Amino acid sequence: KSLLPFAQCLEQLKDYENAIKYYSLALEIDSLNSAAYQSRGLLFMKFGRANKSNEMYKLASKDFSEVLKLDSS
C-alpha cells in the first residue's frame, strides 16, 4: 500500500519532517510515484527557503526532475 495519504496528512498537520520521511518511504515502495516526488520536492523547497539551505534546493531539484521524467513517459 502507498504511504502517500499518510504523508499528506502529516504535511497538513505541519509535521514537515515526518511528512518528508513518509514521502521518502512511499517512494521506496513505488519509485514511479510522481505525486510523492512533487510533494517531497515542495517541502524541500519550503525548508530551503526557511533555512537558506542550498542543499534542500538541490534535493528539490532532483525530485522535480524525476517528476518531469515520469510524467513525460
C-beta of residue 47 within 8 angstroms of C-beta of residue 16: yes
Considering the entire predicted model, what is its pTM?
Answer: 0.83
Question: pLDDT of 14-50, one tens digit each?
Answer: 999 999 999 999 999 999 999 999 999 999 888 777 7
Q: Give whole-number Cα distances, 1 to 4, 6, 48, 57, in Å.
A: 9, 11, 30, 29
Closest CA to 36 of 2, 12, 73, 69: 2
Q: Give whole-number Cα distances, 54 to 6, 9, 19, 35, 45, in Å.
A: 28, 27, 20, 23, 9
